[in-house]
């Protein structure tokens, strides 16, 4: 399931199955594999929720919070729309808020063509989205990352958030839905001006590595540009190639995005991309051979827009490496012992107020050791 990297750090492959008994779980309550799609579950549904959703003529998908929480919760939207389709409930569906464009890329809304709304409205999203758009709704569904447990079904655990959200809603609606692991939807991509400009000047040719430096918690989650540069140098030297490193930084809408190149190094050319909108990065990530990032929304976005044969690696120092991943087979993790314990016990150091035994930071992942993991994945070898 995992292999030892440096002392106290482990690699976890995205396709690894977590067996029953390895982590703290909550029984799903039924043998999912034995229930036909569309059949009632052998447990009681939420009658009020089913009643209200059955009479809705419009579904509003509303997320206003963090990008990462939003992306990992889209499987919950998929579950609701799967249920409506199986029940032949005709509704119009629309996404609102800052992530409406990204949500449209999943194809979820395309399964339910928008028509003239009739009847009552249902809203599904995060708490901020419900507060902003749910005042006239007859039913609102909050997809809270802290709420759904790690489910146990068919002899395996389902620790990733997309699985948690999908299965939680399946249980509440009382019907076996068609989704199977991985439950996270992927996002369609296309060419945009940024991609075309970078390609025209040679930045997307050869070995291209993207590294996510953007984070809402820099004192704890910033791997730093310098470590990423060292990582890229190690990889390029081993590959006997010139690497192009795209450092993806944060920013805000008022500043716009900024692009700046560093002086060429022996093995690596470095380009800083700060404040690039998420929808443009969604089109850029598939052109990268490798993406490495901290546990943040842009890393999750990279996994949901990336080609399956191209690896995405998340770095997890404190939080559960399994919960805060997409569950997609090419989305891997390198994690500390603390992250592993959070994974095993289904704990959160913030929610559960668990102070670390030692002050764990991103320097737990030496660039040279991390490069070995990256090289194995780039060469098609499972670490």
Taking only the tens place, the pLDDT of each residue in 157-182 is: 999 999 999 999 999 999 999 999 99
b/e code 5-34 from CB counts within 10 Å (16+ = b)? beeebbbbbbeeebeeeebebeebebebee
Residues in contact with 115: Cβ distance below 8 Å, sequence separation at least 6, in sequence order: 90, 92
pLDDT tens-digit map of 227-286: 999 999 999 999 999 999 999 998 765 667 899 999 889 899 999 999 999 999 999 999
CB within 8 A of 121, min separation 6: which ones? 56, 57, 58, 59, 60, 136, 137, 138
**Burial classification of residue 352, based on how many CB atoms lie within 10 Å of its CB (0-12 exposed, 13-18 middle, 19 or more buried):** exposed
Question: What's the whole-model pTM score?
Answer: 0.94
- Residue ranges of the domains in the chain? 2-15+188-378, 31-173
Q: Which two tokens stand for residue 85?
A: 């389709």
pLDDT tens-place string over residues 136-149: 899 999 999 999 99
DSSP label at residue 251: -
Distance CA 169, CA 124 (A): 11
Tens place of pLDDT per residue across the chain (383 aa): 344 445 579 999 999 999 999 999 999 999 999 999 999 999 999 999 999 999 999 999 999 999 999 999 999 999 999 999 999 998 999 999 999 999 999 999 865 555 555 679 999 999 999 999 999 899 999 999 999 999 999 999 999 999 999 999 999 999 999 999 999 999 999 989 999 999 999 999 899 999 999 876 666 778 999 999 999 999 999 999 999 999 999 876 566 789 999 988 989 999 999 999 999 999 999 999 999 999 999 999 999 998 888 999 999 999 999 999 999 999 999 999 999 999 999 999 988 998 877 667 788 999 999 999 999 999 998 88
Dist. CA 43–CA 302, nearest whole Å: 37
Token pair listed for 158: 């389902």
CATH class of 2-15+188-378: alpha beta
Token pair 């996270």 is found at 184
């Amino acid at each position: 399931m995992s292999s030892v990297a440096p002392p106290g750090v482990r690699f976890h492959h995205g396709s690894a199955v977590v067996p029953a008994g390895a982590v703290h779980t909550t029984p799903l309550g039924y043998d999912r594999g034995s229930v036909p799609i569309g059949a009632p579950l052998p447990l009681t549904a939420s009658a009020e929720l089913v009643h209200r959703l059955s009479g809705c003529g419009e579904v509003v998908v509303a997320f206003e919070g963090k990008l990462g929480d939003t992306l990992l919760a889209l499987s919950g939207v998929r579950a609701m729309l799967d249920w409506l389709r199986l029940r032949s409930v005709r509704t119009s569906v629309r996404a609102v808020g800052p992530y409406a464009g990204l949500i449209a890329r999943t194809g979820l809304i395309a399964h339910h063509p928008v028509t003239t709304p009739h009847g009552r409205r249902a809203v599904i999203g995060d708490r901020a989205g419900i507060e902003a758009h749910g005042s006239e709704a007859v039913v609102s569904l909050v997809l809270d990352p802290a709420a759904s447990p790690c489910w146990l079904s068919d002899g395996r655990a389902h620790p990733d958030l997309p699985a948690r959200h999908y299965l939680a809603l399946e249980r509440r609606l009382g019907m076996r839905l068609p989704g199977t692991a991985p439950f996270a939807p992927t996002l369609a991509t296309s060419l945009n001006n940024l991609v075309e400009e970078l390609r025209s000047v040679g930045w997307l040719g050869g070995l291209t590595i993207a590294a996510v430096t953007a984070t809402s918690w820099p004192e704890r989650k910033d791997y730093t540009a310098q470590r990423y540069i060292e990582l890229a140098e190690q990889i390029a030297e081993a590959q006997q190639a010139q690497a192009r490193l795209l450092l993806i930084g944060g920013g805000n809408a008022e500043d716009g995005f900024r692009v700046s190149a560093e002086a060429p190094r022996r093995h690596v050319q470095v380009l800083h991309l700060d404040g690039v909108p998420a929808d443009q990065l969604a089109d850029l990530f598939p052109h990268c051979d490798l993406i490495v990032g901290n546990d943040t929304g842009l890393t999750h976005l990279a996994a949901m827009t990336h080609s399956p044969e191209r690896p995405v690696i998340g770095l997890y120092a404190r939080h559960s490496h399994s919960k805060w991943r997409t569950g997609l087979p090419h989305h891997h993790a390198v994690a500390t012992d603390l992250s592993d314990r959070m994974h095993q016990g289904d704990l959160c150091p913030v929610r559960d107020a668990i102070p670390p035994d030692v002050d764990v930071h991103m320097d737990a992942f030496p660039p040279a050791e991390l490069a070995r993991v990256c090289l194995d994945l780039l060469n098609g070898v499972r670490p």
